[in-house]
Amino acid sequence: MIAVHPNLHEVEQASSLQRRLYRTLRETMRAMAGRISGVANWEAKKMLARHIWLDAEHAEAVRSRVLELRFPRVDVDLEVDAALIRVLEKLPSTLSDEEFLGGVYQVIKPAVLAAVERYLKQSDPLDDAPSHRVLAIVATELRDELATFDVGWANRPASGRKAAQPWCEWLGEAIGHAGGIFGRDSAAPLLESAGFSDRPRYEIAPSPARDPRWLPAVTQVPPRPPRTPQEQQVWVAIDHVNELWACELPAAFIWHYPGMPWSLYRDTARWAYDEMRHAMMGERRLLAYGFEVGIDVPMVPDHWVGICVRRGMEAMLLAVHGLEQGGPKWKAALKEELWRMGDPYSAQDCDYDWADEAGHIRYGQDWLKAIFPGAPKSELIRRTQEEVALWKEWIAGTHRSGEHGYDAFLPRIEAKCAQMPGLANPEYFRPLGSSAATASYEAADSA
């Protein structure tokens, strides 16, 4: 039944509150994206990647609603909520994974959920029905995010959780000092506190953190091609699970390059989550084969070590864009070959990976235009080819020298592959005649 006397919540008030909510969602997503490469825990990385994507979708939906509410398009992205933004910029400037996760999931996200619920309660569900639909979805998915976090948080070391409390307390006070999520910006300077407010802006490290439970290695690319159908299955899964590096890279762009158009950030959040989905595809297949990630197979950011450590983030963008070019053709061939070999599960993984790659090529092109405005196409092509060639040579060099770090892994892989069941049509595996069968080895990986 429609209320005879509805809640009074004018358009200007609605647009102002949702604009502030959009900025909170956007900047929290950017902080999470930047910090994902610095978080070591594997489960936390997977959680963050999914939530980066969801939060970008939430921000997009709220932003679109703001633009419908007579708010000038040019103003929706202006930083008028300066005090709030100053606090959110500090989110990734943490000293531990527990500080970061606690700040995001015990302070900011609960405050966002409370703001959304308050908005829904005090606004009119008829006059403002489009906002109610958008915010109801945001609230539902935020509750799911917090429930996922709670499960992982309970498994974090008690000492780390306790040590994170002072940071979380300051962060909550700083948000209130800035006017809160649901309200007007205070325009006040950042709440001062020794050890917290003066922390420097977070910077992306040249090599991402890896779970301390995993054994060390140098490359994830095996030092030889697969020799059996079972090895081919495992080689594909190793390549997939190690697309973690390809999740961390676009996510890092979102933080490393401030002031980019919102649409670029939104697309890149999807790109990062796609790559994490690919990594989880590999994890799922390896678990099915009886392999433990990081113990039986390596989990290393070799692209970062071989490119970013030496030549920086721009080189990484050029290299990943070059590697993405061959992705659709390779994954299409792998899908066909794995299906004919009798492995429909790996084939389906490659099929969806293939579907994702076309969009990733476009995202890479958008980033090249944003970072290298006005650069001639011929120059970008030359630099891209150069970076891909340097990457392949670096991998080949580690294999030639024996410095690949696979010595502890290859015997385990060979032994477990020998125990794997046979496939329905193993004759379709052609290690020397099929480009798909040896592509990940010969091309030294792709994204």
Among the listed residues 112, 89, 88, 101, the one whose alpha carbon sits nearest the alpha carbon of residue 164: 101
Among the listed residues 229, 178, 205, the one whose alpha carbon sits nearest the alpha carbon of residue 431: 229
Residue 275: give its domain's CATH number: 1.20.1260
Q: Where are the beta strands (DSSP E) in 218-275?
A: none
Burial 137-169 (b: 16+ CB within 10 A, else e): ebbeebeebbebbeeebeebeeeebeebeebbe
Query: Which residue among 117, 142, 177 closes a domain?
Result: 177
Q: Where are the beta strands (DSSP E) in 153-266?
A: none
Residue 112: give its domain's CATH number: 1.20.1260.10
Six token digits for residue 30: 């950017």
- The answer on 249 and 158 residing in a single domain is no
- 224 belongs to a structural domain: no
CB 203 within 8 A of CB 238: no
Per-residue pLDDT of the chain (447 residues; tens, 9 = 90+): 556 556 777 898 999 999 999 999 999 999 999 999 999 999 999 999 999 999 999 999 999 999 999 766 666 666 679 999 999 999 999 999 999 999 999 999 999 999 999 999 999 999 999 999 999 999 999 999 999 999 999 999 999 999 999 999 999 999 999 999 998 999 999 999 888 999 999 999 999 999 999 999 999 999 999 999 999 999 999 999 999 999 999 999 999 999 999 999 999 999 999 999 999 999 999 999 999 999 999 999 999 999 988 899 999 999 988 888 877 788 888 999 999 999 999 999 999 998 898 888 999 999 999 999 999 999 999 999 999 999 999 999 999 999 999 999 999 999 999 999 988 887 777 664 344 444 444 444 555
Radius of gyration of the chain (CA): 24
- 315 belongs to a structural domain: yes
- The answer on 97 and 244 residing in a single domain is no
- The answer on 151 and 241 residing in a single domain is no
- The answer on 158 and 97 residing in a single domain is yes
- The domain tally of the chain equals 2
Among the listed residues 313, 278, 237, the one whose alpha carbon sits nearest the alpha carbon of residue 447: 278
Q: Which domain holds residue 141?
A: 11-177
- The answer on 244 and 149 residing in a single domain is no
Own/partner pairs, 147-152, CB within 8 angstroms, 24+ separation: 148/47, 148/51, 149/47, 149/101, 149/105, 149/109, 152/41, 152/43, 152/44, 152/47, 152/101
SS3 447: coil
- The answer on 233 and 346 residing in a single domain is yes
DSSP state string for 287-324 = HHHTPPBTTTB----HHIIIIIHHH-HHHHHHHHHHHH
Which pTM value belongs to this model? 0.93
- The answer on 240 and 130 residing in a single domain is no
- The answer on 261 and 168 residing in a single domain is no
CA–CA separation, 297 and 169 (whole Å): 40
Q: Provide CB contacts within 8 A for 129, sequence distance 6+.
A: none
